[in-house]
Copies of this chain bind each other. A is one copy, B any other.
Amino acid sequence: MFYVVGHKNPDTDSVCSAIALSDYLSKCSTKTNSDEKYEPAIQGEINEETKCALNKFGVETPLILTDATNKKVILVDHNNKMQTLDNIEKAEKIVRVLDHHPINFSYQEQIEFLTMPVGSTATIIAQMYFKENINIDKKIAGLLLSAILSDTVVFKSPTTTDIDKIMAKKLEKIADISNFEVFGLELKKAKASLKNKTPCQIIDADFKEFNMNGCKVGIGQLEVVDFEDFYAIKEQVSSQMKKMKQDKNYTLVLLVFTDILREGSEFLTAGDVDAVKKAFNISTIDGIFLKGMMSRKKQVAPLLENYYNKNQNNKN
């Protein structure tokens, strides 16, 4: 059995890509008379947006897998060991990796490893189905479309490429979605509500951990449709971030609140504020709306990484 699993704090792309790649590989197995079995898995609870997508297309939530010990695993939508299964070094094998993030990976064996500079992992999987002429059923097309719309913030993120749009167009027909931009906003609204969430839940919702030149940096991102919601919880979240920084020994904790309608973000930080100011060339953080700032992958993490690479000293 191969477990196909996305990153910690699963988002819609990582969950839907795990499900779709399992389906794709199972169908390839059938085609080649291989008896390999593929099972999608997630590393934790799914968010409201992903729930909305799975419900809409009548697909069950994958099983939760958090430990790689003695398992054969296929990693999707991440290639960074800080975001992968616990005990990944005890896995029987990392069989392959399929992703669209910057690369930070080492492995002692030859494996199939593919990253592409596109807006979502789902885009790559959709291309594989079409290129290899593997049948995509309505459910899978719906999930792939959901993942593309989610990760590209309905094509507003600068990570969006023409290929994402072409794949979305093709998938829209198969999934029988009449207007994918309306559907994309429906998904985003499901995710964006900050109501009834604790500060911890807000920080954790889409949080990724990075090792930047020896510094432990955590970056969360939240999509908001109404910034009033954000202002209402700002102080509480900020206190919790400071506590988290200390308890877990982060150099920097950064939350990116992204307004998907106004197309930009505000930052909240705990820890190395200096790094954030210098990396983004801003003199203050509080209350600054960064127009066009939509992508952690392309506009946030690389700039911080660059800063820490140039500033050798660990700042703990």
Contact = CB atoms under 8 A, between A and B. Distances in A.
A130 interface: no
Contact of A131 (B110, B118, B131, B306): B131
A63 interface: no
Interface in A92-144: 100-118, 131
Given A103-B106, A108-B305, A110-B115, 17 more contacts: A100-B110, A102-B107, A103-B107, A103-B111, A104-B107, A105-B105, A108-B301, A108-B302, A108-B306, A110-B117, A110-B159, A110-B298, A111-B117, A113-B113, A113-B115, A114-B114, A131-B131
B108 A105 contact: no
Nearest to A100: B110
A166 B235 CA distance: 63
Interface residues of A, number: 27
A297 interface: yes
Nearest to A109: B102
Q: For the complex formed by this chain, how many copies does it contain in all?
A: 2
Interface string A179-204: 00000000000000000000000000
A105 B115 CA distance: 12
Nearest to A306: B108
Q: Is the interface of A mostly helix, strand, loop or mixed?
A: mixed
25 contacts: A100-B110, A101-B110, A102-B107, A102-B109, A102-B110, A102-B111, A103-B105, A103-B106, A103-B111, A104-B106, A104-B107, A105-B105, A105-B106, A109-B298, A110-B116, A110-B118, A110-B297, A110-B298, A111-B115, A111-B117, A112-B115, A112-B117, A113-B114, A113-B115, A114-B114
A105 to B, nearest CB: 5
